[in-house]
Structures are given as C-alpha cells and as structure tokens.
C-alpha cells in the first residue's frame, strides 16, 4: 500500500502467532502484500 510510491506502513517481519497493528488516518481500501512472499496479498478496509 503506497501513495506516490511511498509505503504507508511496513510491519517488518511478523513471526507466526504474533500480532501487529497500525492506525490508518484515511478512509478507503488499501492493498498490501507480504514482502517475503509477494504472492500473499490482502486488503485493509478502513471505514
Ligand atoms: Cu509471507
């Protein structure tokens, strides 16, 4: 997920079973991918 080429978040490596959270400042649907496994993608929906 990025705006003008600048990623809006980077969780770093999250080990199995661990959690990570982030607060989004704007409403919308934002795509993201795993940097280790680029085929693993998801969407964050902020409403
Ligand atoms: Cu992965």
Between the CA of 40 and the centroid of ligand 1 the distance, in Å, is 6
pTM of the model: 0.70
Report the separation in Å between the CA atom of 37 and the middle of ligand 1, taken as the mean of its atom positions: 4
Separation of CA 13 and ligand 1 centre (Å):
9
Distance 33 CA to ligand 1 centre (A): 8
**pLDDT for residue 20 is more than 90:** yes
Residue 1, pLDDT > 80, answer no
Indicate whether 6 pLDDT > 80. Answer: no
* Cα of 46 from ligand 1 centre, angstroms: 22
pLDDT of residue 7: 75
Tens-place pLDDT, residues 25-39: 899 999 999 989 999
Under 8 Å CB-to-CB from 1, ≥6 apart: which residues? 7, 8, 9, 30, 31, 32, 44
What is the pLDDT, as a whole number, of residue 9? 86
């Amino acid at each position: 997920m990025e705006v003008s080429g600048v990623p809006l978040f980077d969780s770093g490596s999250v080990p199995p079973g661990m959690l990570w959270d982030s607060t989004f400042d704007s409403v919308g649907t934002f795509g993201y991918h795993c940097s280790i496994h680029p085929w693993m993608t998801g969407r964050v929906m902020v409403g």
